[in-house]
Chain A
Amino acid sequence: MKDPKIYGHWPYRDRPKVTWPGDKKLAFWVAPNIEYYELHPPKNPHRSPWARPNPDIVGYAYRDHGNRVGNWRLIEAMEKYNIPGTVSLSVAMCDHFPEMIDTVNDLGWEFFSHGVYNTRYAYGMDRAQERQMLQYTIDRIKAQTGQQTRGYLAPALTHTIHTIELLAELGFTYSCDLFQDDQPQPLNVPGNPLVSMPYSLEVNDHYAFNVFGMSPQQYTDILKRQFDTLLEEGGTSGTVMCIPIHAYLVGRSHRISPFEEILRYADEHKDDIWITRAGDIADHYLANHYDDARTHIAQFGGSDAA
């Protein structure tokens, strides 16, 4: 297979104009990952969860810091600047740390499904197994928070060839799994309308700190540049900026204060941007821009070879 053909080719030129509520040019969302990594996960035949044999306490403790310490610093920082989170949730957290989930829910943050545990991968699952896992996450979030979850990001970004089509079948409205665009894009799957929602690898704190080795200040600098560029382009057609973060990274004592600077920067621009949650972006897009986008994209055809 050369191309999964999930979406059509769509040049970033002369696109139909997207506007966000209040005529805003940039939809800005922050995605805290609230995750659970198991101490003794079963080993997926395609990928090993830990670098060392179980128990890998160095790796495990590194993540656990987020749930003991970092999440609380992050929640305080976001609340300080009135930025609601859209949480990428390992739904096992509903069982392991229910009070944390209830606290976040009471703040008005949205939850989307990030699988059950971040140590359980979709690799090797057949369609029925993946469907069962996805449905479980919908049900668990609903039972704990009352929210009908609409979004998905695969645990540890592990997919199968069925993933996107299953999302549409199960009533999701947005997928954070695809990185091809700075605007939402209608996806070519049967069933309910489904869009790709700009999330990010490049300005994801995991990439910034662990891949590029950035200092906390450098991360804030790139976030500001990301923001400035997408806001300017948003005047032509509304863009989406997402800041994906992990409390065990950005919630560290040497990183949280520099990170607050970008939250403050967004708050300072609140008259120009829509500070919002991903589900709200998807709802607005589906109601106002989905059909025009489909029509526009159809003209760009491209090779049909699969």
Chain B
Amino acid sequence: MPLDPNFLRYPMLRKGMDHDLYPAANMFEQPKVSWPDGKSVALMVTVAVEFFPLTPNDGPFRAAGHMATPFPDFRTFTARDYGNRIAIYRIMDALAAANIPATAFVSSALIDRTPKLVQDIQSTGWEIAAHGEDMNNIHYGDMPLDVEQRQIEACLSAWSDYGVTPKGWMSPGRGQSEDTLSLLKRAGIEWTADWGNDDMPYAMNDGPVAMPYTDEMEDRKCITILGQNEEVWSQQVIGAADLLAKEAQSHGGRILHLALTPYIIGQPFRIKFLRDLLTELAGRDDLWCATASEIYTTWQEQMA
């Protein structure tokens, strides 16, 4: 019994991408961007500030970090909570000591659950970007359009009621449906971090701008998935900083994205490496440390 003949038909075989979400591109052929004060590399630190409900969503997948053992998974639930009460403050202090701002992807459910945390994030000068209501509210292919619209609306109106208008969005689990990009654009979102396919921003055909999200250097990817220790993780980030500064000499401003997960890098035995890494980066005079929206706006203005 051979395969269905459709397996040997290629309906999307054509020049460019096999979809209409964004055009094919070569990052090295894009117009050069200049960062303020002639800096080579924009350092974009992002921090995940997430609420994982004890009862996880049924499917079709769970966002990374979610409950892992049968209900009630107290161990995972409380370990995530550690991130939002202990680890996050170590990270805030480390970033403040290095005078480096961050962009926080915050579950809107935390507005009511951990109000002081959300206030502290604001008063430390971090940007708040939308990250859904909580980590159950994933976006995935073929999800009903009205469900998706309600999810986005519920999250953004919670922020609006709180007095924050996020410019950026990262879906819980970074998944999208076929409609997410256009729904986000219509909701007023200007950039999204769900797409990890470039080291520089790029425009979608009908959606917010895709800001770079370097998942290969996330603390979560390196430490919990690749099993590297925090020292190796931080050495890779320095290597990237060196390479991007070199690339910037010929190709214009580059972005170094550093994704931090509090319950991972904020552990007592790991925080030293974050502190040392930030000290090293802060000491480089070719780095512009900025929030995602500051970088996005600077890039956007020069692309017009």
Contact = CB atoms under 8 A, between A and B. Distances in A.
Interface of A: 36, 38-40, 42, 44-45, 51-58, 60-65, 67-69, 72, 92, 95-98, 100, 116-117, 120, 124-126, 128-129, 132-133, 209-210, 213, 215-217, 252-258
B17 interface: yes
A120 B26 contact: no
Interface stretch (B47-55, B125-133, B170-178, B266-274): B170-178
B302 interface: no
7 contacts: A53-B142, A62-B216, A126-B3, A128-B2, A253-B244, A254-B243, A258-B239
B236 to A, nearest CB: 4
Contacts of A97: 24
B6 A42 contact: yes
A53 to B, nearest CB: 5
B236 A68 contact: no
B203 to A, nearest CB: 13
Interface residues of B, number: 57
Contacts of B194: 57-58, 61
Contact of B8 (A100, A133, A215, A256): A133
Interface of B: 1-4, 6-8, 10, 12-19, 24-28, 60-61, 140-142, 173-178, 194-199, 214-217, 225-228, 232, 235-237, 239-240, 242-244, 247, 256
A58 B174 contact: yes
Contact of B7 (A55, A65, A120): A120
A58 B27 contact: no
Given A51-B61, A116-B10, A96 B178 contact: no
Contacts of B215: 58, 62
10 A-B pairs with the lowest CB-CB distances in the bound complex, closest first? A213-B226, A126-B2, A61-B197, A64-B197, A254-B240, A254-B236, A253-B240, A213-B227, A124-B3, A61-B196
A253 B3 CA distance: 40
Given A40-B19, A52-B60, A216 B236 contact: yes
A257 B195 contact: no
